[in-house]
Amino acid sequence: MNLVWAVLLTSAAGGPEDPVKVDGGWISGSSSGEVRVYRGIPFAAPPVGALRWKPPQEVPPWEGVRACTTSGAWCPQPRPLLGRELGPTGEDCLTLNVWTAAREAGEKRPVMVWIHGGGFTTGSGASALYDGTVLAREGAVVVTINYRLGPFGFLGHPALSKESPQGVSGNYGFLDQIAALRWVRRNIAAFGGDPGCVTIFGESAGSCSVCRLMVSPLAEGLFHRAIAQSGGAHGRNRHLRERREGMDPLEKVGEEIAHGLGCDRAADPAEALRGKTAEEILGASNPAQGLFGKGIKFGPVVDGWALPEDPGRLWEEGRHARVPFLLGTNADEGTLFLRQLPIRTAAGYRLAVRSLAGEEAEALLRIFPTPTDAEVPRALNRLVTVGAFVAPARILARASARDGAPTWLYHFTRVPESPLMNPLGAFHGLEIAYVFGNLQSPAMSLVFREKDRELSARMRAYWIRFARTGDPNGPGLPPWPPYEPAGDRHLELGNEIRAGSGLFREACDAIDAARSNRPGPADPPR
C-alpha cells in the first residue's frame, strides 16, 4: 500500500538553504516553500564492516558543507509485501531527515520525531508517506529516522554478546533509535526546535518502539511526550537467552543463522558473519513480514540492559516514563493481514479461536460470530483488530492514566470513498496520511475527498497541540476527554469527531482474561 502513497504524493524542492552546524560538520538543505528540508543527515557512523552488529558509533566529521538534499539508503530488507514502497538499500543507513519552517535557531518549536513501521523488517523514514512539510508549515520541527532492520538490527549471537561490555547482543536497531534521539537533543536547536519539548511518535512497529522506549532506562529524559499509533508493548517478546512464550532465545536463533551460513565452524563466528554479504544474511535469516508471516520475527529483545524485562510487564508494574501519552487504533486493523491467515471456513475459525483463547473462546465466538463461511473474513478482521490492537492499547492507556500521566485514547474509523481504498475499510496505517497531511496533491484528490482533508486538518491540530503542550485540546477543536479507566473514554476520528466510551469493552475484557492465562498474539508488525 505504501507504493500507492509514493506514486500519489509529490514533494517540491527548491534551492540550497543556509548551512546548519550539526554533529560532524556543516550541512545544507533545500526548500519547499517556507519549509527547509534536510535529508540524509548522518546521526551515527556507517554500521558496516567491523561496525556491523555494534552499537551506533559517533559520526565521523567531514570537511566543507555537506549537501543534505537526498534521503539516505534504506536498510537492506526483503522485498516488501502488500505493494509497499522500497527505495535504494544499503547498510550505510543511519540517517535522518528534518523539516522546519523556523527562520532562527532560538524559536523553540515543538519537535516531533517519527519512528517508521514495517515489522522491524521493512520500511524507512525516507518513505514519501512520511514527508513532514505540512506538519512543519503548521509549527512543528519534524524528524524522521532510519534504524537497522531485521537481522542487521536485531541479530543476537553468543559471540556478539561476548564482544559487548554489557554482555548482550541483538538490540542494535533499538539502540539506533536512542542514538537518533540523542542526536536530536544535541542538534535540533539549530533547526529552531526545542530540545526540551520532544515528542516521539510512530505507527505499528514504530508504535511498538515508542512503547519500548518508554520503558528503556537508556531512553530516559530523551523525550517529553509520546504518541503510539496501532502498536503496543504486550504480546510475545523474545528474550536474549531464555525461551519464553514458545519463542526460542535470540542467541539460539543467531546460532542457527550462523550455522546456515557455515559461520559456526569458524574460529571467530562474529568475524565470519561480518564477512557475509547483506544478501547472504537476508537469505539465511528469512525475516518474517506481516502479522502472520512465516519466517523469523525480528525486533527489540529483552536483554536485561536496553530492555531490562518484558516490556508489557514493565508497563503493568508502572516502570514506564510518566509523560503525556496519546495512543489509539484503527477500525479495520486486520484487513491487510487476512491473506496471511489460512482460515476460510466457519469451522476453521471456531477451531482457531478455541485453540488461542481457551476458556474465553466461547465469549469471543459469541461477540464475533461466524454463522456461515462468508462471515469469516469480517469476523477475523474484528478479532485481529481487537485482539492485537484495541485490547493492548486499552491496557497501556489504563496503566498510563493509573500512574498519573495525562492520557488520551483515539479510534480512527474514516473509510475513504475511493474504490482503491474502500474495500479495506479503516485499514492498518491509513491514519498516517491524515496525521502528516499528505492529501493535497492533484493525484491524491483521486483518493481523498474534502471530508478527508477536513479530518486531516483537525487531526494535525490535535497532534501538534499535544506535541506543544502535552494536551491535544485547543481552540476550534471538538473536546477530547482524557482517558481514565473508570470511564474508559476515547475520541472517534471518523466521518464525525465525537467522544465515546467502552470501545469493544466486552471483547477486550474477554481478551484480557485469555491473555492472563496464556500468551497472546504477537505485537502487530508492519
For the chain, what are the domain ranges?
2-517
Helices (H) and strands (E) in the chain, counts: 17, 14
Looking at residue 294, its amino acid is K
Residue 295: C-alpha distances to residues 85, 253, 524 (Å):
21, 11, 15
DSSP class of 387: I
What the block records as the C-alpha cell of 295 is 519466517
Candidate list 124, 169, 204, 285, residue with the active-site label: 204
Looking at residue 399, its amino acid is A
- How far is it, in rounded angstroms, from Cα 300 to Cα 288? 14
Candidate list 116, 157, 239, 428, residue with the active-site label: 428
- Is 417 annotated as catalytic? no
Give me the helices (H) in 358-441, please.
361-367, 376-385, 391-402, 431-436
Contacts of 320 (CB under 8 A, 6+ apart): 214, 215, 314, 399, 400, 403
Q: Return the pLDDT at 236.
A: 85
Is residue 385 packed enough to be buried (19+ CB in 10 Å), middle (13-18) or exposed (0-12)? buried
Q: Return the pLDDT at 517.
A: 67
Looking at residue 136, its amino acid is A
Of 102, 110, 215, residue with least CA distance to 470: 110
Counting other chains too, the contacts that 9-16 makes at CB distance below 8 Å and 24 or more residues apart are 9/128, 9/129, 9/131, 9/438, 9/441, 9/443, 9/444, 10/441, 10/443, 11/128, 11/131, 11/133, 13/37, 13/69, 16/67, 16/69
* pLDDT tens for the chain, residues 1 to 526: 554 444 344 333 334 457 999 999 999 999 988 999 999 999 999 999 999 999 999 999 999 999 999 999 999 999 877 656 788 999 999 999 999 999 999 899 999 999 999 999 999 999 999 999 999 999 999 999 999 999 999 999 999 999 999 999 999 999 999 999 999 999 999 999 999 999 999 999 999 999 999 999 999 999 999 999 999 999 889 999 999 988 999 999 999 999 999 999 999 999 999 999 999 999 999 999 988 889 999 999 999 999 999 999 999 999 999 999 999 999 999 999 988 888 999 999 999 899 877 888 899 999 999 999 999 999 999 999 999 999 999 999 999 999 999 999 999 999 998 887 888 999 999 999 999 999 977 777 788 999 999 999 999 999 999 999 999 999 999 999 999 999 999 999 999 999 999 999 999 999 998 877 654 444 443 3
Q: Return the pLDDT at 9.
A: 42
Secondary structure E strands in 118-229 = 141-145, 193-203, 225-229
Judge whether 240 and 248 are in contact, CB under 8 Å.
no
Judge whether 264 and 255 are in contact, CB under 8 Å.
yes
Counting other chains too, the contacts that 368-374 makes at CB distance below 8 Å and 24 or more residues apart are 368/507, 370/346, 371/346, 372/346, 373/344, 373/345, 373/346
Q: Return the pLDDT at 13.
A: 37
What the block records as the C-alpha cell of 494 is 471518523
Sign of the four-CA dihedral 190, 192, 198, 199: negative
Q: Is 182 helix (H, G, I), strand (E, B) or coil?
A: helix
pTM: 0.94
Candidate list 251, 333, 360, 492, residue with the active-site label: 333
- Is 259 annotated as catalytic? no
- Is 157 annotated as catalytic? no
For 167, half-sphere exposure in the C-beta direction (CA atoms, 13 angstrom radius) is: 2
**CATH topology for 2-517?**
Rossmann fold (3.40.50)
Residue 203: C-alpha distances to residues 226, 270, 298, 369, 389 (Å):
12, 33, 17, 29, 12
